[in-house]
Structure 1
């Protein structure tokens, strides 16, 4: 029995280690490192999905630059390093992303920052860690849909592009829409009605997103409408209608237990002592 218990504990520790080691480390700028390159870091970040627990590794010449984390998009946009959230200056800094949302990084070297040495990353959600939270109390992790896929959020070649994109998918409560676009050209406005959607009416938006990397969570069933505030772009087809379906009332039997819970049950059954006959 003691041997069985030790074996069970060993396997459990190995499983937990595997669950907690899925975070990634991203070298900012890849081979270019952390330097002044206009547009480099926007293009670098938009191709990745950052999660809580992931880390950013900044490599640079510490005699010339640093890594200054700021709190707001305004500070990021205007390269304002007067009230930093954190400052790193070793030349080889690893910054762990500890919470979801936007994280803004600039250099305190103002001319370098203006030349493009700044980074904003959107942390989408946590790495899943068992056991899962009770259902019904919070929304489950759904699917992440990158709006427009490779086309992203920009004026399409065909005016019905986003309509077709949406119709090919089934959206449910708990899913996320990820909007990627050039924030100097467009934005994302959520509006109330089909009439506003058809007429590209931007006068009474429900919400306005303008970060260039926006996460919109679908929290309830119904129809959601999104357009750009640039009327000519909206009329050319830069608008999206999404029908959100409710969650199923009952989950399939296989989904009622997490993979971790099923594995633990299997361990209990496999290592449970059986009576000798």
Structure 2
């Protein structure tokens, strides 16, 4: 009985370890840790894909700095720590990312924050804790994630038709996602309405403006979607994307073969049905 109990406990521990080991711990700034350095945390974060269940580990001098989590991009941009969502000050803080979306971190040391000690991370997916059952059929299913430009990301290309070629090589469908990664100090993403605006790089009346540096855009309906940047000269140099979104593929049943008897009935109906004379 004791042996059976120990075996059960061992199996349970292994199962739990298997479920949870997919979460990662990221040391913010790697060997540099959490300290002021302009632009370094943007570069550090954009090369990673953060998921729900992952953790950020902040290491720093607690006598000089802290980790202040704020709620909005405005607080992040202006280093406003007056109404923090949470404050950590041990010098060795582990913060678990519990929900998808944007998470903003600064230091309450204003001069240090202005000097670049701030971090925004974008959480895209959840870690599956157990193998999920087959998803039910939905009107809008979860599709593929396409990182725009792949390794080039969203920046002025060396060849002006780079994003045109990138888009033409793929088939986008309703439910797919476009992931734009870029330096938010240099570029942004504007969605526009028409092919004319796309060709002329017209930024006057955008459908939507994205400027986080890590933007996820869902393709929710079939048609053509147009994306450019508002930065002068960048769109004209080729930083523009047009994607054709196809509807969800539907399985069409093959045409049923008529039996000999049905073909005979059809022949009778066609042969003896009177046709109007003109």
Same fold (TM over 0.5): yes
Asked if 2 retains the 8 angstrom alpha-carbon contact of 1:131 and 1:261, the reply is: no
Matches for 1:138-157 after TM superposition, within 5 Å: 139-157=140-158
Matches for 1:103-122 after TM superposition, within 5 Å: 103-122=103-122
Counterpart Cα distance in 2 of 1:131 and 1:271: 58
The alpha-carbon distance between structure 1 residues 230 and 275, as it changes in their structure 2 partners (threshold 3 A), is: closer
The alpha-carbon distance between structure 1 residues 22 and 252, as it changes in their structure 2 partners (threshold 3 A), is: farther
The alpha-carbon distance between structure 1 residues 194 and 103, as it changes in their structure 2 partners (threshold 3 A), is: same
Asked if 2 retains the 8 angstrom alpha-carbon contact of 1:8 and 1:267, the reply is: no
Q: How many residues align?
A: 277
SS at match of 1:165: helix
The alpha-carbon distance between structure 1 residues 159 and 266, as it changes in their structure 2 partners (threshold 3 A), is: farther
Shifted more, 166-175 versus 69-78: the winner is 166-175
Structure 2 length normalisation: TM-score?
0.81
Asked if 2 retains the 8 angstrom alpha-carbon contact of 1:101 and 1:122, the reply is: yes
Counterpart Cα distance in 2 of 1:105 and 1:250: 47
The alpha-carbon distance between structure 1 residues 250 and 100, as it changes in their structure 2 partners (threshold 3 A), is: farther
Alpha-carbon shift at residue 252 of structure 1 (Å): 14
Asked if 2 retains the 8 angstrom alpha-carbon contact of 1:36 and 1:116, the reply is: yes
The alpha-carbon distance between structure 1 residues 276 and 165, as it changes in their structure 2 partners (threshold 3 A), is: closer
Counterpart Cα distance in 2 of 1:79 and 1:264: 81
Alpha-carbon shift at residue 239 of structure 1 (Å): 0.4
Counterpart Cα distance in 2 of 1:42 and 1:265: 71
Alpha-carbon shift at residue 138 of structure 1 (Å): 7.2
The alpha-carbon distance between structure 1 residues 94 and 5, as it changes in their structure 2 partners (threshold 3 A), is: closer
Structure 2: any 5+ residue segments left out of the alignment? Answer: none
The alpha-carbon distance between structure 1 residues 158 and 12, as it changes in their structure 2 partners (threshold 3 A), is: same
SS at match of 1:119: strand
Asked if 2 retains the 8 angstrom alpha-carbon contact of 1:189 and 1:227, the reply is: yes
Asked if 2 retains the 8 angstrom alpha-carbon contact of 1:200 and 1:231, the reply is: no
Asked if 2 retains the 8 angstrom alpha-carbon contact of 1:70 and 1:104, the reply is: yes
SS at match of 2:233: helix
Asked if 2 retains the 8 angstrom alpha-carbon contact of 1:100 and 1:126, the reply is: yes
The alpha-carbon distance between structure 1 residues 35 and 265, as it changes in their structure 2 partners (threshold 3 A), is: farther
Alpha-carbon shift at residue 63 of structure 1 (Å): 0.9
Alpha-carbon shift at residue 165 of structure 1 (Å): 1.0
SS at match of 1:233: coil
The alpha-carbon distance between structure 1 residues 4 and 108, as it changes in their structure 2 partners (threshold 3 A), is: closer
Alpha-carbon shift at residue 201 of structure 1 (Å): 1.6
The alpha-carbon distance between structure 1 residues 222 and 77, as it changes in their structure 2 partners (threshold 3 A), is: same
Shifted more, 267-276 versus 145-154: the winner is 267-276
Shifted more, 16-25 versus 88-97: the winner is 16-25
Structure 1: any 5+ residue segments left out of the alignment? Answer: none
The alpha-carbon distance between structure 1 residues 194 and 272, as it changes in their structure 2 partners (threshold 3 A), is: closer
Alpha-carbon shift at residue 10 of structure 1 (Å): 8.0
**Which has the larger Rg?**
2
Alpha-carbon shift at residue 225 of structure 1 (Å): 0.8
Asked if 2 retains the 8 angstrom alpha-carbon contact of 1:8 and 1:271, the reply is: no
Asked if 2 retains the 8 angstrom alpha-carbon contact of 1:130 and 1:260, the reply is: no
Alpha-carbon shift at residue 77 of structure 1 (Å): 0.7
SS at match of 2:255: helix
